[in-house]
Amino acid sequence: MRTRAEASRQRWAILGFALAILVLSFVVLKSAYYQLVLTQVLLWAVLSLGWNLLSGYSGYFSFGHAGFWGLGAYTVALGMLYFDLTPWVSIPFAALVGAVAGAIIGYPTFRLRGHYFALAMLAYPLATLYVFQWLGYQELALPMKRDAPLLYMQFEDQRLYVVLALGLLVAALLISLKVENSRFGMALLAIKQNEPAAEAAGINTWRWKMLALMLSGAIAAIAGGLYGVVLLVVTPETVFGMALLAIKQNEPAAEAAGINTWRWKMLALMLSGAIAAIAGGLYGVVLLVVTPETVFGMLVSAQALILALFGGVGSLWGPVIGAMLLVPLAEGLNAELGDVLPGIQGVVYGIAIIMIILWAPEGVYWRVLDRLPRRKPAAAEAPPRPTATVVPLPHERRASTGEPLLVLRDIGISFGGLRALDGIDLAIPEGGLYGIIGPNGAGKTTLFNVINGFLAPDRGAISFAGEPITGLRPNQVCRRGIGRTFQVVRAFPRMTVLENVIVGAFVGAPDDATARQMALAALDRVGLSAQSGAIAGGLTTRELRLMELARALVPHPRLMLLDETLAGLAHDDLNGILTVIRQLRADGITVLIIEHTMGAMVQLVDHFTVLDHGRLIASGRPDDVVRDPSVIEAYLGKKWVDRVAVPAK
Amino acid sequence: MPFSSVDLLQALAAGILVGSAYALMCVGLGIIFGSMNVINFAQGDFLMLGMYAAFYLTAGYGVLAFLGPYGGPIVAAFLAGPIVFALGWLLHRFVVARVTGAGAAQTEGAGAYGQILVTLGISLILQNGGLILFGSTPVGVRTPLSRQSWEIGDVLLNQARVVSFFVAVALAGGMYLFLSHTRLGKGLRAAADNPQAAIYMGIDVDRAHRIAWSLGVGITAVAGGLVATFQTFQPYVGFDFVIVMYAGVVLGGLGSNFGAFWGGLLIGVVQQMSTLILPYQLQNTAIFVVFLLIIFLRPQGMFGRLSERT
């Protein structure tokens, strides 16, 4: 999340960029051909920004944004053909179509992850492409509206298209900026870096992903709609297809560089209805009669993704940079080389992409940023390691009601033939520290996963504070007041410590400023304030554990599930964290902790529960439990009893 | 029913025969996808190279003319394998390895961004380089088999397809034995399951990836050589098959080489059977529908396994 000043700086940058484009269009570029290239740069940048909004921020790669782009173009074209609809109306409507398509596609597809998601997305535009071909919409030419050119966006002056496309790009940039600076953007980044952790921190991942896809689809559809208007012909291959068509289809236009009348010639030819006939020799004038052989081929709806990846994924300016560099490059290659030796432009373009990506694997923007001297010193300047000074929050203390806070009844879950949990009954009263121990594979973490909703139990019921929570999603469980940490710390490694905790604060906070305040307070509470600006990826194990504690704490949960919070810590670090955990109990938060460090556990907890092979084999006060013969046999071993003859409380 | 039972059998037989070639290319892609976890957009273009290699070995330069019109095309398809294997080796050594493998694991998204762009770049170069070298006129590897059929009952079996079926099944079976029973094959699978652990066990992961990559494109090229005997092609043909291959691999289940084979076979059958009830143009749409259905019902594929721990 950027600070306010940064966001305002970005807005000025967008304004400056827009002015520069206008100067370029109205003062520098003289020919209509270059205006058309510029229009395409802007439109591709919009598409790429739309893609970036979903894939760059959330990490869900879409190979299918051509689907939205194509729906947009067809909405405009069909609207004009059949309903005489002006693009001024149909383009906004295309946005709606894109958003609805996003919702319909997202609903089933977000069940998939990683490469599966990306490949499934690829299937949508391709399946649609064949359907449109079959329906006979091989090639739709937009009808000429001589009488009302302005109403139908058929400007004689190319520069007006530049202005329109620029307006769209500025809007897309402002939307991206807005998203980046809101909890929406934070949620997406959190999803990208660790989706289960985001879910457990109370982020409704499903909702944010759907929103991102819908917004992203709407932007892509708008860009596609305007694209159709600018180029006047819509074919299934161009809008759904796999090709870098925008580039190739201007090859003819390039020949006409400098001739202001080329566009009108083209329109006249189209009016004559001879599009198919002129496809050969006058290929150039017709634009957009595209066959797979003549275009680059495989470059999917991938154009959106290439531009964003090339420019710098997940950044505001990356897609714009990508479009500014690559679209004119490909265009120029076509104009200069395409006629000399067909295909050579594709080879050069491919080599250029590979060379640059080997130099900057994460995109030009990030690479250049890394090269620039840092404007502000990194906040992680090795701060003194503070002892855990814990700030108690007395008003949070809740009176123990005597009613059990968490009740598990006959919980069972199996993985294949393995009974991970088998008939667990457990009642945890409010207040106090409860330890769960057991050998590896006893089902401890599975128990936590069932409680916080990562796993749905095969049978049994869970209730929390009197309400059933069986089968709720993790973010809903979190919202009801159950926080958790993980056996292996699940941080958002590229976010700062403060941002990591803010993600957890969205649950309880009415607005983003409050979330920030709450996060700062929680960091204070675990004694990690000094590191708040550090990037989480660089923290020590102890700091990571504390950060995760703070993230779980910040929405003020009533129950905390701590999964081996002490694991992997040096003896000195142990005490700091133990202090924090005890303070949680003092504040009235009920704590359920899984731990292997028996010595620490016996001192810490009020109550022990022992699991073995998915069954609950003992439960009671620590000193009773550690003397229980079945516990000794299953877990502690004889040696332990010999060594700690009388466990100290 | 709008079709007879003979039509049905005919479509099924055609599906299995064509599907076996698909299955072989899926095995090739599956080795790459499964062991490197890289989405290789250029896979279809390596297939195209295999087709042209077979073409030039037979019709083009007539190197294999002495084997006669029957043996030549089959040997040519086999030889396409090592040729493309060598090219794949060089590409991996100098380009692909720099964005994949152990080095890339540290960067954001495990180097996924770079990988996608690099394979897209390779695809561009191969397609357009192919256009320059081979021209855009569609060609085919001509064998007398293409025009002859065997009759079994009322069902006609194209001889070229039958031959390619047996070759594909034999080669896929050989790959299966190689991966499951040889030291090298087991090393590849270890490198796939957990690269970090494989490094600690003394397996050279980059080398394993190089073998997997080259083997994958080589196998796919052989499949291309087989398809070339019953279908014409041009330098942009690869894309048609990329979709078929990914659908097949995902259907079969990632990381399961044998599954990729069945996935590819199923794609062939679905494609051919769909022509019974759907217009010809929609046969690929039918593939996507089946693809999406299986992905939603069984995201791990028919033979894959899900392994995720919280």
Q: Are A491 and A537 in contact (CB under 8 A)?
A: yes
Strand B149-152, strand B155-158: pairing: antiparallel
Q: What is the mean pLDDT of residues B202-223?
A: 86
Residues on chain A touching B113 (C-beta within 8 angstroms): 309, 313, 357, 361-363
| Residues with Cβ within 8 Å of residue A393, at least 6 apart in sequence | A521, A525, A587
Strand A590-594, strand A433-437: pairing: parallel
When CB atoms are compared, the residue of A61, A353, A358 closest to B120 is A353
| Closest listed residue to residue A36, CA positions, set A123, A136, A141, A165 | A165
Half-sphere exposure of B77 (CA within 13 A, CB side): 30
| Residues with Cβ within 8 Å of residue A445, at least 6 apart in sequence | A487, A563, A594, B310
Render pLDDT for A596-624 as a digit per residue (tens, 0 to 9): 777 777 778 888 888 888 888 888 887 77
Interface check A299 vs B, CB under 8 A: yes
Q: Are A140 and B301 in contact (CB under 8 A)?
A: no
The 3-state DSSP class for residue A491 equals coil
When CB atoms are compared, the residue of B123, B136, B288 closest to A298 is B123
Question: What pLDDT is stored for residue B86 in this prediction?
Answer: 92
| Closest listed residue to residue B127, CA positions, set B21, B35, B239, B30 | B239
d(CA B48, CA B129): 12
d(CA A303, CA A323): 9
DSSP result, A424-486: EEEEEESSSEEEEE-STTSSHHHHHHHHHTSS--SEEEEEETTEE-TT--HHHHHHTTEEE--
Q: Is 90 exceeded by the pLDDT of residue B154?
A: no
Question: What pLDDT is stored for residue B12 in this prediction?
Answer: 87
Residue of B33, B128, B233, B293 to mutate when probing chain A, most A C-beta within 10 A: B128
Question: Which residue ranges form the domains of chain A, and what is each CATH number?
Answer: 4-369 (1.10.3470), 491-552 (no CATH)
| Closest listed residue to residue B271, CA positions, set B51, B3, B17, B45 | B17
| Residues with Cβ within 8 Å of residue A519, at least 6 apart in sequence | A498, A501, A502, A504, A505, A550, A554
Render pLDDT for A282-336 as a digit per residue (tens, 0 to 9): 222 222 222 222 222 234 346 666 777 777 777 778 878 887 877 777 777 766 6
Render pLDDT for A377-388 as a digit per residue (tens, 0 to 9): 344 444 444 444
Give the chain A residue nearest B245 (alpha carbons).
Answer: A119
Question: What pLDDT is stored for residue B299 in this prediction?
Answer: 64
d(CA B123, CA A446): 45
Rg of the Cα atoms in chain A? 30
Render pLDDT for A483-497 as a digit per residue (tens, 0 to 9): 888 877 777 777 788
Q: Are B23 and B248 in contact (CB under 8 A)?
A: yes
Residue of A133, A251, A298 to mutate when probing chain B, most B C-beta within 10 A: A298
**Cβ distance of B250 and A350 shorter than 8 Å:** no
Determine the distance in angstroms separating the CA of B194 from the nearest CA of chain A, rounded to an integer. Answer: 17
Question: What pLDDT is stored for residue B218 in this prediction?
Answer: 93
Determine the distance in angstroms separating the CA of A608 from the nearest CA of chain B, rounded to an integer. Answer: 24
Domain-wise residue ranges, chain B:
23-236
| Closest listed residue to residue B269, CA positions, set B6, B5, B17, B1 | B17
Query: pLDDT higher for A241 or A345?
Result: A345
**Cβ distance of B117 and A310 shorter than 8 Å:** yes
When CB atoms are compared, the residue of A120, A349, A363 closest to B292 is A120
Mean pLDDT, rounded, of chain A: 71
CB atoms within 10 A of CB A510: 7
**Cβ distance of A297 and B122 shorter than 8 Å:** no
Determine the distance in angstroms separating the CA of B233 from the nearest CA of chain A, rounded to an integer. Answer: 11
Q: Is 80 exceeded by the pLDDT of residue B249?
A: yes
ipTM: 0.81
Query: pLDDT higher for B195 or A539?
Result: A539
Give the chain B residue nearest A301 (alpha carbons).
Answer: B120
Q: Are A562 and A485 in contact (CB under 8 A)?
A: yes
Residues on chain B touching A127 (C-beta within 8 angstroms): 284-285, 288-289
E strand or H helix at A611, and its extent?
Answer: strand A607-612
When CB atoms are compared, the residue of B37, B98, B129 closest to A347 is B129
| Confidence category of residue A202, pLDDT binned at 50, 70, 90 | confident
Residues on chain B touching A130 (C-beta within 8 angstroms): 281-282, 284-285
Residue of A126, A283, A357 to mutate when probing chain B, most B C-beta within 10 A: A357
d(CA B151, CA B296): 40
When CB atoms are compared, the residue of B121, B236, B238 closest to A350 is B121
Size of interface A-B (CB pairs under 8 A): 166
d(CA B61, CA B57): 6
Determine the distance in angstroms separating the CA of B4 from the nearest CA of chain A, rounded to an integer. Answer: 25
d(CA A392, CA B228): 75
Determine the distance in angstroms separating the CA of B52 from the nearest CA of chain A, rounded to an integer. Answer: 16
Give the chain B residue nearest A293 (alpha carbons).
Answer: B236
When CB atoms are compared, the residue of A108, A112, A494 closest to B108 is A494
Residues on chain B touching A449 (C-beta within 8 angstroms): 310
**Cβ distance of A120 and B95 shorter than 8 Å:** no
Interface check A130 vs B, CB under 8 A: yes
Residues on chain A touching B107 (C-beta within 8 angstroms): 361-362
Strand A615-620, strand A607-612: pairing: antiparallel
Strand A467-468, strand A459-464: pairing: antiparallel
Query: ∠ CA(A229), CA(A230), CA(A235), 5° rounding?
Result: 65
Interface check A151 vs B, CB under 8 A: no
